[in-house]
Chain A
Amino acid sequence: MTQWIDIAALVDIPRQGARVVKTAQGCVAVFRTLDDHVFALEDRCPHKGGPLSEGIVHGHKVTCPLHNWVFDMNTGEAQGADNGQVGTFTAKVEAGRIYLDATQLMARSAA
């Protein structure tokens, strides 16, 4: 079951930027792309734990700040020659507000 929680306003994140949401299980990076799409990803790079929220956002991709792995934010999969996947969360924007699914955020440690 989806249980939407209102996180913040879309404008709280700069375009091509990210902000972090703290949860009991760790940080979730919430990205806003140039075309105002919002993605929520685990804020830990599967390579060596780099904070993806600090990466450069381009298209629907983000580049990890530590060693430049590139992830497709739709699937969380590493691109090119790198192998790995970062957890993704459902996010939506409605009337200028960003929502995350609370059930997913809580289920995360079990998954």
Chain B
Amino acid sequence: MKKKLVVIGAGMASGRMLEHLFEANADYDVTLFNAEPRGNYNRLMLSPVLSGEKTYEQIVTHDDAWYAENGVTCRFGEKVTGIDRDRKVVIGENGEVAYDKLVIGTGSNPFIIPLPGHDLKGVIPYRDLEDTQSMMDLGAKPGSKAVVIGGGLLGLEAAAGMAARGVEVTVVHIMGHLMERQLDEAAGYLLRKSLGEKGIKVMCKANSKEILADENGHVRALLLDDGTELPCDLLVMAVGIRPNTKLGAEAGLAVGKGIHVDDQMVTSDPDILSLGECVEHNGAIFGLVAPLYDQARVLANTLMGIEDAFKNKEVSTKLKVTGCDLFSAGDFAEGEGREDIVFRDPARGVYKRLILQGNKVIGAVMYGDTADGAWFYNHIKEGTDVAEMRDTLIFGPAYQGGAAADPLSAVAALPADAEICGCNGVCKGKIVDAINGGATTLDGVRATTKASNSCGTCTGLVEQVLAVTLGEDFVMPTSQPICKCSDHTHEDVRRLIKAQELKSMPAVFQELAWKTVDGCHVCRPALNYYLLADWPLDYQDDPQSRFINERKHANIQKDGTFSVVPRMWGGMTTSDELRAIADVVDKFKIPTVHVTGGQRIDLLGVKGEDLPEVWSDLNKAGMVSGHAYSKGLRTVKTCVGKDHCRFGTQDSTGLGINLEKALWGSWTPHKVKLAVSGCPRNCAEATCKDIGVVCVDSGYEIGIAGAAGMDVKETEAFHKAASEEEVLEYVQAVMQLYRENAKYLDRIYKWVNKVGLDWVKEQVADEANRKALVERFLISQSVYQKDPWAEHVEKEQARYTPMANLMMEAAE
């Protein structure tokens, strides 16, 4: 007599297993239970069904005829409620069935975050045809809105599918970038950009708080932590899956994260086998179909008494959203001793990154051009030694074995009508004509053809056309690139950040073709500054891209301790402030107290761990950080002025304090120091500061671009103001002009030397322009003028303390 095989779950894994059995004419009588009211269909293809590219009929794997032909007793729409192992029967909602062998293939359950309101009508996961249908129905209603929680594979496919049906979709993702398990930040950035182009709004680092209901108990909106309300008619939660182990666990099988199976797919009961997303094999659980097909083959073989063993392999991922071409495989999140090879082509929106360990590729992430994905994936699986082709590896199989790619010969080979500058539609022929006509420099070409004159990403290409056309006569310009990670100069980077509205570090890295994954200690601080200066409201300051002094708001000393300098507005102090300083010196045994050249007091030798407490004490006495560590406003020195001095013409102390109060907290390309003297005797040394004011009877003489450090230079006359208000306006305007235009680490005098004093004067003299500069400065100050001490005492304590103290354990 045939043996009785019962299968629970008509899913993708068990379906494939049955195909193997029937193809081999195995001697089994099969009963198949499925909770869904249908047989096996290709679950992966639900997304194309949702987006309208396929119909349900097209994705059915096994139809009624197939089941009939193979003599399967179908119990679809019937859930199995229990397994009685002693009697060897499966208990279905409509009755029991006895088994000789049992296969559990129950897949997984979508995880639902238990937010308040998660059980409202209109809150669904994305797992089966019913969910897909709800989303399709939404598309039929004009003007409907949906929110998807979860920016992983499923969430994005759901979002793209609904968007394709005209639904207004917002994706809410808790992590910093999309699909963080498959993609790195750079690829995540490109993906977000493509989705944006499809009209899908993406919110990263967004924390959901509550799902709000309308009067009918139907979802109305999602409420985020920060108070934002996102109205929606449907809320899709796609935040992950959990193996569906309930039946196995209740039957007393060994269950961990999933139902435990051995290499033969047998559970802890020799007559019960299991496969698919419900199992755990060697600690691994599954969420993609490729390994499940291997399990299906092994399980079928085990049932037929053929020796076979399941081995888990690397998986690769593709997102099934038209127009978002991404590929990810292998390990790029962890591993010992790894190196990266990065390739970016901003014009085409391409990013490729290979992760190498020793001479092997262990991971690949690609966006935009994924044609070579399978080739890399193969190397990952095979563990190929790639030492020989390492230099050209990233260019894919087409380049292997050939000569090393020479960029110049590639440009030489371009036809005359090949477009070089996309912004201005300039082709190679036109540039060559211009060069032959006498435009033999980059600037010359820019002036005559407009090529490379807008976004500038084609600058390198234009230079190559120059090199090819002029041959030896062309000398590549010697302008220094920002660092080894990029070919762009600081000036180019600043210009491109503005022109292309690049508002994040990954955006800069990608669009400006950075050669490393995350920059280096040279470019990151500069980029962080440029981004925060140009987009104060959009960009979030990145402490990890700052030099230690600015990250910890104190100056590091040669022995690793720190110095603390509280602000003394305009060099003024009080007995209370001095007492508070004296108290912290005693309390924290601070070894050195020095009166600085900037008219304030420096406490030197403070232990890193003590910083927050020192600050907290100084804060209590009303003092804030003096930013003695920052590329930002340092000091405003003043003299005593007309209140006391017999020569004083104006209130130089008061003006100094007002200037310091207006400017403090602002970040600048390099440090900025001011001084205000009460008369031309100039006791505050205002004529050698970045910005200096000398008071005279008739008003205020503002000078800029002085220096007294490595270079000594007198300030140059900038503007003569009639009132304090006018001084403030001109000084803020010139600060902002400097902030927006200078190269990182250029003091004002170096910047003015490059752009010319006349240009600076012109910009500020124009009233509308001046007012606009001041307004932008104030917007930035609304974000950045805050005492970092108070903030760090409250929120960042952890940065200053050791993470663990093993003194005890290690001593034992």
Contacts and interface: CB of A to CB of B under 8 A. Distances in A.
Contact of B803 (A16, A19, A54, A55): A19
A24 B799 CA distance: 21
B340 interface: yes
B33 to A, nearest CB: 34
B19 to A, nearest CB: 37
B60 to A, nearest CB: 40
Contacts of A27: 802
Contact of A5 (B334, B520, B546, B806): B806
Contacts of B333: 35-37
Given A7-B804, A27-B802, A34-B517, A93 B334 contact: yes
B798 interface: yes
Interface in B533-564: 543-548, 551-552, 556, 558-560
Nearest to B549: A65
B544 A14 contact: yes
Contact of A21 (B334, B518, B804): B804
B656 interface: no
Contacts of B804: 7-8, 21-22
Contacts of B811: 24
A23 B807 contact: yes
A30 B803 contact: yes
B806 A34 contact: no
B332 interface: yes
Contacts of A93: 334
Given A24-B810, A56-B524, A56-B525, A15 B544 contact: yes
Band of interface residues on A: 35 or more
Nearest to A15: B544
Interface string B774-812: 000000000000000000000000110011111101110
A63 B551 CA distance: 14
A34 B542 CA distance: 13
Interface in A88-107: 93, 102, 105-106
B559 A21 contact: no
A28 to B, nearest CB: 8
A63 B520 contact: yes
A22 B807 contact: yes
Nearest to B609: A20
A22 B802 contact: yes
A65 B547 contact: yes
Contacts of A102: 806, 809-810
B185 interface: yes
A29 to B, nearest CB: 10
Nearest to B523: A58
Given A34-B518, A56-B521, A63-B520, A16 B807 contact: no
Contact of A48 (B332, B339, B544, B558): B558
B807 A24 contact: yes
Contacts of A14: 543-544
A86 interface: no
Interface in A17-53: 17, 19-25, 27, 30, 34-37, 48-51
A70 interface: yes
B336 A13 contact: no
Contacts of A58: 516, 518-521, 524
B338 interface: yes
A7 B552 CA distance: 23
B521 A63 contact: yes
B337 interface: yes
A59 B518 contact: yes
A68 interface: yes
A101 B480 CA distance: 45
B803 A105 contact: no
B306 to A, nearest CB: 37
Which of B521, B805, B811 has most chain A Cβ within 10 Å? B521
Contacts of A34: 184-185, 517-518
Contact of A22 (B332, B543, B806): B806
B518 A54 contact: no
Nearest to B186: A34
B521 A54 contact: no
Given A5-B809, A57-B544, A93-B334, A35 B184 contact: yes
A92 to B, nearest CB: 9
B337 to A, nearest CB: 4
Given A24-B806, A58-B516, A58-B521, A66 B558 contact: yes
A36 B180 CA distance: 11
A74 interface: yes
Contact of B544 (A17, A24, A106): A17
B401 interface: no
A96 B811 CA distance: 27
Contacts of B802: 19-22, 27
Given A21-B803, A68-B521, A56 B334 contact: no
B335 interface: yes
Given A16-B518, A35-B184, A60-B338, A23 B544 contact: no
Interface of B: 184-185, 332-340, 516-521, 524-525, 543-548, 551-552, 556, 558-560, 798-799, 802-807, 809-811
17 contacts: A5-B806, A17-B543, A22-B807, A35-B184, A35-B332, A36-B334, A37-B334, A56-B521, A56-B545, A60-B339, A66-B556, A68-B521, A70-B520, A74-B337, A102-B806, A105-B806, A106-B810
Interface of A: 5, 7-8, 12-17, 19-25, 27, 30, 34-37, 48-51, 54-61, 63, 65-66, 68, 70, 74-75, 93, 102, 105-106
5 smallest CB-CB distances across A and B, nearest first, come from A63-B521, A16-B544, A19-B803, A56-B521, A54-B548
Given A20-B802, A23-B806, A56-B545, 13 more contacts: A16-B545, A23-B810, A34-B184, A34-B517, A50-B560, A54-B552, A58-B519, A59-B516, A59-B520, A61-B520, A68-B521, A102-B810, A106-B810
